[in-house]
Structure 1
Amino acid sequence: MSFLPSPGHLLGADLWPGDLQTIIQNHVSIHQLQQWECFPTSLCHMIEWATVARHLTAPDRRRSHLLVYKTLPIPEPCDALYPVSVRIYGFLDKFCVSDFGNWNGDCARAACAVQSLTINSMGNTAAWRNQIECLNLAATFASCILKIPLPSVQFRHHLHLQRKVFSKRLFDLQESQAARNNSPHAQNAHIPKLPEYPWEWNGPLEILEMQQDGNVTPIHELLLSRGDFVEIDAEFDLVVARNYYSQSPATADLAPQQATNAPLATNSPTEVQRIQINQISEEQPSVHPSESTMQELDPSSSQLTHRHSTGFMPVNTAPL
């Protein structure tokens, strides 16, 4: 995981109020940050720090492009990829982060099911603008590498993050059934019947809470409240839609991987808010021409997508 810096601080903490600065700096010492953990501040730096890789056998061809770290300080298998993830701070607004998000149990709507949350600045304009500029730098970089224009500025006032509840998997049907049987929800009568192959549940969004001493413990999503100051670990979700007749602009979204609630001493209990977000229609897969500027993965090998973590964060390793 990487940190979004400000001109005066590697964690960008100096732009937040004093109590929030303490929360941000409790996680890691700026003197212990490695190069890959320091998000670039310019396009020149980004070129040396990250690249766009293409997974040729990804089930969703629109999402076969990944923004990945270019160099890491530890030896890795030659076919391992580490998607760039960033730590974002803000105040929780609307959210729907239960295990199955907005899914209503209809297997025909599995492609539309998402977990989502929105965060805002709550008046901390300088800190928020700094985060937005860093995120837009990454979007611009991906657009330049892909040679596909962005439809507009990708990140503006509020930040809306979402991840799919189910994904299509390209593996044997027996393997899929074994994974379903081993799921902790497989024998739970209160959980709706999960979609059949090739759909696979992506698992819960990890929700944590930071204690006053800096320790972090898992919590249930019902303990989140609108207005909480949260830290989000998010990856860039690059979506490229093309067909034989036209080229659609690329988009760079944010997919949350982990949410940490960092309660302030002055916080008072507030009612938990829930939202119903609009159903998202699934676009048809499209054909992607190869790009010489991108790193292409050998479809005959078994590439793995790994998640790098910092400090207390657990390392999650899962096939793409």
Structure 2
Amino acid sequence: MDLDARFTIEAAESWLEEKKKSGIRVVAICPGAICPASDHQWVADLWPERLRFRALLGIPDDEEDVQKSSVVPRTYQGLLQWAYVGTNPSATDSTRTLRLLYREPSSANDAIPGVIFPVGVRVQGFVMNCNLRTLGNWTRGTAPASALQFIVLGGGDCPSLFAEYRTAVTDIVRYIHRCLNSEPPDLRNGVRDEQTIFAARRVFTKINARNNHLPSVIRPGDDPLNETQSIQHEWRPIKRLSVGLYSQYDEQRGGGELTALDPLNIAVGDFVDVCLGFDIVTKPRRGNGQPSLQVHLTIEHIIVLAPAGEATDSEMTIEYPVVEEESPGLTFG
């Protein structure tokens, strides 16, 4: 199944479902934008040959077939024409009412009246650490609002290649701060590990009158002691993480199949494609202090392009740095 087709279908289904319920503008996820290394080459095209064709999943062979809005701009002026900070109509958290949105849909199929598309950016890398359990790092007694699923990516022995992704993401975060008249953070002070990217996803959603009809996605095996029962009326997971496996890859024919995968199957060393979103958190001014603005990288979907055993060969040695679970890698305050 083609990646673009898969997520266009999901966007349309989301639109139809939400339109029936509320009649308000709908937020849908479209395929993440592609990072260019130059005017005529993608960052994904720089990976070693064994990984290159898999990294190019969903990217047309002909550059002319790539929509301009599907490419991350390399200049500030380009970002101005590409994306803007707008209102998030599905927000249930008063501190998360803003989203970074595409100015134009990625294709004519995505130009659905009343649907807005948050910006997503595709990056590839090796899994250095992760916790993708349904309940993430939540334990009974900890605040549901702080529970996360997370993934840490690195470039292995291709640090300069991976730095291209970090630069693209950093530029977007700076752009968000400028759009909101906020001083961009000194990103060097916010990066503990300059070789990785940290992205996370909130496990629980705050329940209110607008979303109380949505059931929990917890399965019996996710919470065998039923510890989440006591908070279900206030907090619950209402959407599972989208994870796929690019399997049965044929290097001669240049294709494969994209199938659903349980997130628990993702392991350290896997070569993955992650669509990153941008979580904009604003907090009001307190006393004489300044309003707080934070931008966090979020996980929109993950595709395993090559399991750890297939991601390396005798000509390619990947060295995995030790990454502590609490280390945020590339994240922003």
TM-score range normalised by the length of the shorter chain: 0.7 to 0.9
Note the C-alpha offset of 1:24.
1.4
Where do residues 298-317 of structure 1 align in structure 2 (5 Å cutoff)? none
Select which of 89, 99, 103 maps to 2:124.
89
Where do residues 175-254 of structure 1 align in structure 2 (5 Å cutoff)? 176=212, 178-180=213-215, 183=217, 185=219, 190=224, 192-194=227-229, 195-211=231-247, 212-213=249-250, 214-244=256-286, 245-248=288-291, 250-254=293-297
Give the Cα–Cα distance (whole angstroms) in 2 for the partners of residues 210 and 116 of structure 1: 21
Give the Cα–Cα distance (whole angstroms) in 1 for the partners of residues 44 and 123 of structure 2: 11
Give the Cα–Cα distance (whole angstroms) in 2 for the partners of residues 201 and 84 of structure 1: 23
SS of match in other structure, 1:6: strand
Which whole-Å deviations, capped at 9, do the CAs of 1:252-284 have from their partners, x for residues lacking one?
22100211112263659xxxx997649xxxxxx
SS of match in other structure, 2:156: coil
User: 1:87 is matched by which residue type in structure 2?
Assistant: R
Greater share of helix: 2
Give the Cα–Cα distance (whole angstroms) in 2 for the partners of residues 262 and 187 of structure 1: 27
Q: Taking structure 1 as reference, are residues 207 and 35 closer, same or farther at Cα in structure 2, changes over 3 Å only? A: same
1:161 aligns with 2:199: yes
1:115 aligns with 2:115: no
Which whole-Å deviations, capped at 9, do the CAs of 1:192-230 have from their partners, x for residues lacking one?
434233323142222221112421122223332211111
Who is 1:256 aligned against? 299
Who is 2:10 aligned against? none
Does the Cα contact within 8 Å between 2:200 and 2:297 map onto a contact in 1?
A: yes
Q: Which has the higher contact order (CA 8 A, sep 6+)?
A: 1
Who is 2:165 aligned against? 131
User: 1:203 is matched by which residue type in structure 2?
Assistant: K
Does the Cα contact within 8 Å between 2:45 and 2:56 map onto a contact in 1?
A: no
1:61 aligns with 2:103: no
SS of match in other structure, 2:302: strand
Aligned length: 268
SS of match in other structure, 1:142: helix
Give the Cα–Cα distance (whole angstroms) in 1 for the partners of residues 324 and 238 of structure 2: 21
Note the C-alpha offset of 1:42.
0.7
Does the Cα contact within 8 Å between 1:116 and 1:163 map onto a contact in 2?
A: yes
Who is 1:50 aligned against? 83
Where do residues 276-295 of structure 1 align in structure 2 (5 Å cutoff)? 277=326
Return 5+ residue gaps in structure 2 as ranges.
1-31, 251-255, 314-321, 328-333
Select which of 15, 19, 38 maps to 2:46.
15
Who is 1:3 aligned against? 34
Does the Cα contact within 8 Å between 1:4 and 1:88 map onto a contact in 2?
A: yes
SS of match in other structure, 2:143: helix
User: 1:220 is matched by which residue type in structure 2?
Assistant: D
Give the Cα–Cα distance (whole angstroms) in 2 for the partners of residues 149 and 189 of structure 1: 42
Return 5+ residue gaps in structure 1 as ranges.
279-320
**TM-score computed with the length of structure 1 as normaliser:** 0.74
Note the C-alpha offset of 1:87.
0.7
Q: Taking structure 1 as reference, are residues 122 and 44 closer, same or farther at Cα in structure 2, changes over 3 Å only? A: same
Q: Taking structure 1 as reference, are residues 47 and 30 closer, same or farther at Cα in structure 2, changes over 3 Å only? A: farther
Note the C-alpha offset of 1:12.
1.6
Q: Percent identity?
A: 19
Give the Cα–Cα distance (whole angstroms) in 2 for the partners of residues 209 and 45 of structure 1: 33
Select which of 102, 106, 119 maps to 2:137.
102
SS of match in other structure, 1:215: strand
Give the Cα–Cα distance (whole angstroms) in 1 for the partners of residues 223 and 45 of structure 2: 49
Give the Cα–Cα distance (whole angstroms) in 2 for the partners of residues 186 and 228 of structure 1: 27
**TM-score computed with the length of structure 2 as normaliser:** 0.71
Does the Cα contact within 8 Å between 2:132 and 2:263 map onto a contact in 1?
A: yes
Does the Cα contact within 8 Å between 2:285 and 2:292 map onto a contact in 1?
A: no
Note the C-alpha offset of 1:135.
0.7
SS of match in other structure, 2:135: coil
Note the C-alpha offset of 1:119.
0.6
Select which of 90, 93, 112 maps to 1:76.
112
Note the C-alpha offset of 1:187.
10
User: 2:277 is matched by which residue type in structure 1?
Assistant: E
